[in-house]
Structure 1
């Protein structure tokens, strides 16, 4: 049963295909970004394949950074195939951004673009299993089982991380509710005290003025 589950998980992961983007060129372009999330210390490999070539009137720039501010790669004039590998510094989302600048040789009204094939692999999927198989002299079945084992371990680790996040958010919510409750009680007490004081003050005022 467990082996069947491992095979299903492996199939779902390997069935994911690359992303295909069409990034239009412009004299003042806006970046086109793809966002993904990785855990701290996780290996990430970004495979990029573009059409066009350097000097064809378009300048495609690449920028990879995370939501915390760490920069992993910045490269100008990307063309052909390029591979970027890095290890994440934090549990955070990271962006792979492309900016396509139009060269002066093109008419501003011309519609030119770069087609990009983007494949992002992380964790066990990003490792070079062929090199591991060769170095450790493993059989194909052993390599596949080891890969499935690491993928499953990553899924368990991710679920544990989500569980810790949920517990932290629940504790924060309970703490906030407790503070709001006591603040509401304090406000009610202050309003009641102020109302009693105003009544006593008005009674004293009316007595002094011989109204009552």
Structure 2
């Protein structure tokens, strides 16, 4: 039970960390404000947004969701109020949630206040619906959450291990190539030095210097 309470506490603090609140000034030129988070392939991602103001108030708030590999998951132009975006990540990559606030009235200082919450993996699932469909007790539901969270941690550790192996192989391959290249340079310089000595000796002999 103590482990259960600890997992609930960690999940609560994770939700606090993911929740962001900031203001975006309106500009006449495109100026993106982005938040980046890393996701794994096949992981569910739910982005909850709330902005004050209303459509047609002289500001146009736009949303762009894409990853660092070039995949674009969602584009929403000129929105206000609540917005919820859900998608499944297609690759292990960092996703960028970018917002821009375009001013449509010249000379007016305006801004939009935005609340952003990002949930990934087990946190993004609708546990109330799962509990109702499977008729789970509260303890069973918490155990299910802990189980899925543990599976995600294992998958992430496996990904990090594979990445470390790839980086190690790349490092060893690079080190081997640099070693061979260094040996080649030493051999070439040695041959060049021997040729220069032989050339100078023949030159001095031809001039009867030696």
Could you tell me which residue of structure 2 aligns to residue 68 of structure 1?
A: 69
Could you tell me which residue of structure 2 aligns to residue 24 of structure 1?
A: 25
Pairing partner for 2:156 from 155, 158, 178: 158
Change (3 A) 1:7 1:204: farther
Q: Where does 1:109-188 land on structure 2 (aligned, <5 Å)?
A: 110-188=108-186
Residue 10 of structure 1 deviates from its aligned partner by 3.7
Residue 4 of structure 1 deviates from its aligned partner by 4.0
Contact 1:41/1:89 (<8 A) preserved: yes
Greater than 6 Å deviation, 4+ residue runs: none
What per-residue deviation string (whole Å, max 9, x for no partner) do you get for residues 102-124 of structure 1? Answer: 012x41xx431111110000100
Contact 1:60/1:101 (<8 A) preserved: yes
Could you tell me which residue of structure 1 aligns to residue 36 of structure 2?
A: 35
What per-residue deviation string (whole Å, max 9, x for no partner) do you get for residues 38-62 of structure 1? Answer: 0001000000011000111110000
Residue 34 of structure 1 deviates from its aligned partner by 0.4
Distance in 2 between the 1:5 and 1:140 partners? Answer: 15
Distance in 2 between the 1:14 and 1:148 partners? Answer: 13
Change (3 A) 1:5 1:203: farther
Change (3 A) 1:193 1:129: same
- In structure 2, the gaps of 5 or more residues are none
Distance in 2 between the 1:12 and 1:139 partners? Answer: 21
| TM-score (norm: length of structure 2) | 0.94
Aligned to 1:99, what secondary structure does the other structure show?
strand
Distance in 1 between the 2:7 and 2:182 partners? Answer: 50
Change (3 A) 1:126 1:167: same
Distance in 1 between the 2:9 and 2:146 partners? Answer: 10
Residue 205 of structure 1 deviates from its aligned partner by 1.1
- In structure 1, the gaps of 5 or more residues are none
Instruction: State how many pairs are aligned.
Output: 207
Asked if residue 90 in structure 1 is aligned to residue 88 in structure 2, the reply is no
Could you tell me which residue of structure 2 aligns to residue 203 of structure 1?
A: 201
Residue 9 of structure 1 deviates from its aligned partner by 3.8
Residue 29 of structure 1 deviates from its aligned partner by 3.2
Residue 211 of structure 1 deviates from its aligned partner by 1.7
Aligned to 1:60, what secondary structure does the other structure show?
strand
Distance in 2 between the 1:173 and 1:77 partners? Answer: 47
Distance in 1 between the 2:198 and 2:29 partners? Answer: 71
Aligned to 2:48, what secondary structure does the other structure show?
strand
| TM-score (norm: length of structure 1) | 0.94
